[in-house]
Structure 1
Amino acid sequence: MKIIYILCFLSLSNVLIAQVAKEKYQFSKDINAAIEKDTLAWKYQLGAVEYATSGYYREALTTWDKNGGGFKKLSAKDSLYFKNFKPKSAKEYIIERSKAEQIIIINEAHHNARHRVFTTSLLRGLYENGYRFLGLEALSDTLINDRKFPTIKSGYYVKEPQMANLIRVALEMGFTLFEYEATDGKNGKEREIEQAENIKKIIDENPNSKFLIHCGYDHVIEGTPKIKRWEKAMAGRLKKITNRNPFTIDQVTYSEKSDLKFTNPIIELVNKATSVVLIDEKGSLFNGLADNDKVDCQIIHPITKYISYRPNWLLLDKERKKYTIPKSKINQYPALVLAFKYNEYEHQGIPVDVVEILNKEEIPKLMLPAGKYQILIKNKMYEIVSIYTLTIK
């Protein structure tokens, strides 16, 4: 399992050195060519993140899974344990439970934009329940609360549109954002300690407030982490040094892979169209197998369905609308289409959505919330061949 987490432990400087090209949003063929040429041991992790950044969800999953892995069949003991639970809407449960919590920690896989979209779907309900602070492992931007939108310089993972949308929506709602990543490229135990201490500082300054923390991978673990040398992960350390018990949510374990042979069988057993948590008759949450002490609960995300060549969850519970780029705007293929919030492009803003159009027969739709946009269309040489203004009502 160690290889799966290599990307988490790389310093930002190492990641930036390994970036494919100066273009932040790329055609799929160029990302693939860079992966094939790369000699780094973790090239598939880096490549998966590059695919995710430019909106290629399926390709991101496929590339990540080239690292190998998979799940064994459930044992009889595990199957019996699983049968004690019934599904409930994850969004509804978390928002209701948040009323009695002060700190919620939810994780993501850095190559899986679905996790960022799900966290975004929680924001309105959490804000209504008193949450006012959002801590982001990915954020590196001291001016974010004044500027009110993220830029290319706001953090390595922030340039991915769905992470930027998470930030943008939170700011529009009134959340105060804060960064908490460890400094100077710290890894391992030192990193977990400093992350927890940075979060504690914000909590101590706002002792009566409520906090949502969005982290990567195993930082969400309260109990025993897979990597023993950590001793405790960020969430477990935060719990100890604040003497406050966070509600910890894992999105990674029960998310789809590129192929069913890599996908946890519980996802198929649950077989729901929406993201769920599992609860038994005593009100206890399913958090994996019976002896798991790592987190409070694990979300089971369903297998993605596609609308207009795009993942259905991009519509964010119908808060976003589908938009078809007119064929008259495209005079050569392939084309890369980027939708920026109006006036953000000139200030190094991040697109709300990105799509690649390979030919005139298959045109994927942009998924956009209401607002005014600048639409940029680039040719295969990354030259802007068309730019126009659009209003989504």
Structure 2
Amino acid sequence: MTKNLLLLSLLGLSYLVPSYALAVESPAEPAAPRTIRLLELRKSEAKLQKAESSLNENSRAKNLQIATQLQMLGTDKSFVGNTEGAMQDFSRSDRIYYDDDAERSKKSGKADTSAQTDSVDEIIQNKIAPAIAEDALTAILREARGKQVVILNEAHHVPMHRAFAMLLARELRKIGFEYLACETFLGEDLSPLAKNYVNDRTGYYTAEPMYANFLRDAIKQNWKFISYEASLPLANQRESKQAKNLVDRIFKKNPKARVFIYVGYSHANEFPEAVSDNDESKMAAQLKRLTGIDPLTIDQTTLFQQYDTQRQFDLYQAALKKQPGNKAFVLMSGENTYLKLAIPEARVDMQVVHPVYRIDAKTGRPSWLSSMAGFTPYPIPKELLPEKGQRAIYAYHLKDPLDAIPADVIVVEAGKPVPKLMLPKGEFRFAVED
């Protein structure tokens, strides 16, 4: 059952009046917010349980099915504010994939490529120990001043990365960057965010509240939004098609355009260099091939609070000791030379190290929501709390259309500690899903 509640307030979260929508929902303007995230989460949980109980015990097919379902579940958890659970599910999925790859390499007699790299102790002693930590935003902006294109990546299940992207976008806009191209925008949508709000048709990952908040912030800064995802690309040509879309939609019209491109994972890699449409290079390298523009490429998907392998974990722990605190940083190994500790070594210009963001005991939410995103905790009104079972609480900007993406979503359970909503400035209305 879903109920909608309208907030009527002059000073903030103060007065709630229940309202029940009777009109039939239409694709253009629904009669009520689309509140099915708890339902989707339960579907993903059921699919994982089915995969885990499969009769194909210890089979590779079963393991890969479990790993895939863990990623789907983790994504759904990120959509309802359970960012810690999302990272745990993806870390478990990654371990399954890594273990499977290692087992297949062992059976095939192929060498373990990680054994050909420096040992963790050597990297810590020779690279991390002498490195100097610097605030990530400060360093990136210094390098960006002389660049035409900046490319930053994200892990799609980590909303924290979008909070950092939001901060970076604010600063890049101040120094003349004007185009914001996001991988998640629908490739066939040539005018993303034309209506100046984020809804389900903006893109798949923009359904996650922090991504929507990042884009709302960018709308206020008057960015020009560009979609570039490849629609039904041929095999091995997704990367080149993405780059060609960027060329066609930006650089052919404005050769001197300054562009911030927000991608997933390895699309930010500049190496190996691109030599043709269907080689093994990534979008950043393809864009460089097509335009001659050398982008500033930044990775933030490796050195953050996760567990992929013991090697990644040990290097991350060593990096954290260089700058205790709650701000992202980079490690400099010499004048304008940035240390990269990805496994294998990052094929980018810079690498961001994110601190560990614990759950704030006062809010029940990750501390980055306040320290980095700058959001304010608000108590969930008592009228919205469930008497039994679980309930998803949705907070929407009061003036947004009904099909807008919520500013926050959180799942609460009767009889358990109640977390706070973490919201930007503004007034809000609410919906609940049982």
Using the size of structure 1 for normalisation, the TM-score is 0.82
| Aligned mate of 2:197, from 135, 149, 158 | 149
Per the alignment, residue 384 of structure 1 pairs with none
CA contact (8 A) 1:31 1:51 kept: no
Task: Give the drift of 1:293.
Answer: 6.4
- Relative distance call for 1:304 and 1:318 in structure 2 (3 A) is closer
Letter in 2 for 1:257: Q
Task: Give the drift of 1:318.
Answer: 6.2
Per the alignment, residue 190 of structure 1 pairs with 237
| Aligned mate of 1:246, from 291, 295, 306 | 295
Match of 1:335, SS state, is strand
Task: Give the drift of 1:281.
Answer: 3.4
Post-superposition Cα deviations, 1:53-100, rounded to whole Å, max 9, x if no partner, equal 222111111111222149996042563122231111112211232211
Post-superposition Cα deviations, 1:137-179, rounded to whole Å, max 9, x if no partner, equal 0011444342111111212111111111121111111101111
- Map residues 86-125 of structure 1 onto 2, 5 A cutoff: 86-125=132-171
Per the alignment, residue 131 of structure 1 pairs with 177
Letter in 1 for 2:396: F
Post-superposition Cα deviations, 1:120-152, rounded to whole Å, max 9, x if no partner, equal 111211111111110000011444342111111
CA contact (8 A) 2:47 2:69 kept: no
- Which one scores higher on RCO, CA 8 angstroms, separation ≥ 6? 2
Per the alignment, residue 49 of structure 2 pairs with 36
Per the alignment, residue 286 of structure 1 pairs with 339
CA distance in 1, matches of 2:394, 2:135: 33
- Map residues 184-333 of structure 1 onto 2, 5 A cutoff: 184=232, 186=233, 189-201=236-248, 202-224=250-272, 230-257=279-306, 261=310, 263-271=312-320, 272-273=324-325, 274-288=327-341, 292=345, 294-307=347-360, 308-315=363-370, 317=372, 319-333=374-388
Q: Greater shift after overlay, 151-160 or 201-210? A: 201-210
Task: Give the drift of 1:357.
Answer: 1.0
- Relative distance call for 1:373 and 1:121 in structure 2 (3 A) is same
Letter in 2 for 1:362: P
| 1:53 correspondence with 2:79 | yes
Per the alignment, residue 224 of structure 2 pairs with 176
Letter in 2 for 1:93: A
- Relative distance call for 1:187 and 1:83 in structure 2 (3 A) is farther
Extract unaligned runs of 5+ from structure 2: 1-33, 52-61, 100-113
User: Percent identity, aligned pairs only?
Assistant: 25
- Relative distance call for 1:287 and 1:258 in structure 2 (3 A) is closer
| Aligned mate of 1:338, from 388, 394, 399 | 394
Q: Greater shift after overlay, 295-304 or 357-366? A: 357-366
- Relative distance call for 1:323 and 1:183 in structure 2 (3 A) is same
Q: Greater shift after overlay, 290-299 or 91-100? A: 290-299
Letter in 2 for 1:137: E
Extract unaligned runs of 5+ from structure 1: 1-21, 380-393
How well do the aligned residues superpose, as a CA RMSD in angstroms? 2.7
Task: Give the drift of 1:345.
Answer: 5.0
CA distance in 2, matches of 1:204, 1:244: 13
CA contact (8 A) 2:36 2:433 kept: no
- Relative distance call for 1:230 and 1:216 in structure 2 (3 A) is farther
Per the alignment, residue 387 of structure 1 pairs with none
- Relative distance call for 1:327 and 1:247 in structure 2 (3 A) is same
Q: Greater shift after overlay, 75-84 or 305-314? A: 75-84
| Aligned mate of 1:26, from 38, 56, 59 | 38
Q: Greater shift after overlay, 63-72 or 126-135? A: 63-72
Task: Give the drift of 1:256.
Answer: 1.6
- State which structure, 1 or 2, has the greater radius of gyration over its C-alpha atoms: 2
| 1:64 correspondence with 2:90 | yes
Using the size of structure 2 for normalisation, the TM-score is 0.75
Give the aligned length.
354
